[in-house]
Structure 1
């Protein structure tokens, strides 16, 4: 019997100042893929790299993580910045040196109002 992998919703800060939200089960592997230019289409252009992982939320299920990702992506940039700051990410984002990882426990129905 194999252990269930933790699912993560994560946020990258791109070199061009934009944010990218995604889903993974392995944060370091996924960051390397993005920085190698083989991650998502959005992060492939050299103008966006290098990317810095600034925030992640750990979930028990893929469904919960992808719902958090979708809700985050629907928000305006000011709302995203406010949410990240509330979670302990340093502003301005270029000053964030480590990835803040938050464990989300229990069943949560993420929706836009949480952001």
Structure 2
């Protein structure tokens, strides 16, 4: 049982590290593209906030959109960690922690979806 917990913690640590490294690499690509082009890809002081506009910007290789993708992955990394913890607690049959962690996971998802207020 203890080895399972250690293995799970190691897997979660690797997941967090991979998420941070992936987001850093994507942000770096966006930064290099920004420095190479001298523009963020959007006119004036405009910054994309709509997910559809950001996706369109990614398709057009706009530097700000690429940087925002990296930031989004960075934000999702700990949220994914909470989701993985729910699965771990289900496997351990720890109903109290399943309930608590599921509640926290749902709060994080809802706050992510409702985070932009206009």
TM-score interval for Structure 1 and Structure 2 normalised by the shorter chain:
under 0.3
Using structure 1 for the length normalisation, give the TM-score. 0.28
Larger radius of gyration: 2
Higher helix share: 2
